[in-house]
Amino acid sequence: MLQKSWQGARIAASLEGVNQRLRTTILELARERGPDKTICPSDAARAIGGDDWRDLMDDARDVARSLAREGLVDVTQKGDALDPDAAWRGPIRIRIR
């Protein structure tokens, strides 16, 4: 049982590390583009995920949502800012504030 707890903690720590890297990468990429342009969550996922970037897409969208709640970015769809607490469907973009 101790082995399972340790493995679970290790997986959680690994996911936390990935989310932190996604957060940092999203902010860096969005700042580089500036407030008049946007990035796609896949830009950040590709930057840190390599060939497995698709596995990070849900995490990248979740991190973008958190950053929007903090007021650091706007998440947009067709140019309109989305409510970070609403349900989203379809492609999104991220813009630094």
pLDDT per residue rounded down to tens, the chain (97 residues): 545 454 444 444 466 789 999 999 999 999 999 999 999 999 999 999 999 999 999 999 999 999 999 999 999 999 999 999 999 999 999 999 9
SS3 at position 7: helix
Position 32 scores a pLDDT of: 97
CB 41 within 8 A of CB 26: yes
- pTM listed for this prediction: 0.84
- Domain coordinates in residue numbering, the chain: 2-96
In 3-state terms the chain splits into helix, strand, coil percentages (rounded to 5) of 65, 10, 25
**pLDDT score at 66:** 98
Q: Tell me the CATH architecture of domain 2-96.
A: Orthogonal Bundle (1.10)
Rg (CA), the chain: 15
Handedness of CA 35, 41, 46, 48 (dihedral sign): positive
